[in-house]
Amino acid sequence: MMSDAGETDESLLTRYARGEAEAFEVLYRRHEMRTWRYLERNVGNRATADELMQEVWFAVAREAPNYRATARFTTWLFTIAHNRMIDWMRTNRPQASLSTLGYESGSVILQLTANPSTGPLAAAVAQEESAALAEALTRLPAEQRDAFLMQIEGGLGVEEIAAISGVSFETAKSRLRYARSKLREALKEFA
């Protein structure tokens, strides 16, 4: 991925591994929101997302010297984020299967419907659409939600999602197909 300045993520991380802290800040700001949204929409809790966010990026900083440019940075980043998120779920919600994990009451809906920037009618429609999307995300089985968020936030392909999730290509493809189908169905009334 290229930055506005034309420098790739991989190059930035390599520069950081050589001791250039500024390169890390560019990299962090570039991927801050997508990482956070991936975590927050998976765990459904902002405080937990903050906690995991910090751990993920601490790991990125710590492991930067071990990073090899043969791997795409976003794949590497979302591998770390996914692993950390799964660890947290296993530790903190052992009684719940991934499929039954829910969101904080209304948190995503509130987030997705905030800041309407247009007129009252458009804002109302946008809120409805955002609410519908958030609710559909909440209803998705955790594995499907995770796969979809990896694709939409991380820009990852099926093969990458399969590898990160530890499932076969077909399974990952199926999860994405179901997730997208359900989300599309939930939003079909919105243009």
- What single DSSP character describes residue 8? B
Interface with other proteins, residue 139, by CB under 8 A? no
- In a 10 Å sphere around its CB, with 0-12 CB exposed, 13-18 middle and 19+ buried, how is residue 52 labelled? buried
**Cβ distance to other proteins smaller for residue 39 or 142:** 39
Among residues 85, 89, 150, 158, which is the contact residue for other proteins, using CB under 8 A?
Answer: 158
Helix, strand, or coil (residue 45): coil
Residue 93 CB, nearest approach to other proteins (Å): 20
User: Within 10 Å of residue 79's Cβ, how many Cβ atoms?
Assistant: 18
C-alpha span between 162 and 2 (Å, rounded): 25
Is 103 in contact with 85 (CB distance < 8 Å)? no
Residue 47 or 96 having the CB closest to other proteins: 47
Which residues from 72-131 bind other proteins, rule CB under 8 A?
72, 75-76, 79-80, 83, 111-117, 126, 129-130
Least separation, in Å, of the C-beta of 166 and other proteins? 4
Nearer to other proteins among residue 2 and residue 95 (C-beta) = 2
CB of 160 to other proteins, least distance (A): 5
Read out DSSP for 101-168? ---STTHHHHHHT----S-HHHHHHHHHHHHHHHHHHHHS-HHHHHHHHHHHHH---HHHHHHHHT--
Contact between 68 and other proteins by CB under 8 A: the answer reads yes
If one asks whether residue 28 binds other proteins (CB under 8 A), the answer comes out as yes
Nearest to 179 by CA among 149, 134, 157: 149
Q: Does 11 bind other proteins (CB under 8 A)?
A: no
Binding test (CB under 8 A) with other proteins, winner from 12, 16, 43, 138: 16
# residues near other proteins by CB under 8 A: 72
* Per CB under 8 A, 71 contacts other proteins: yes
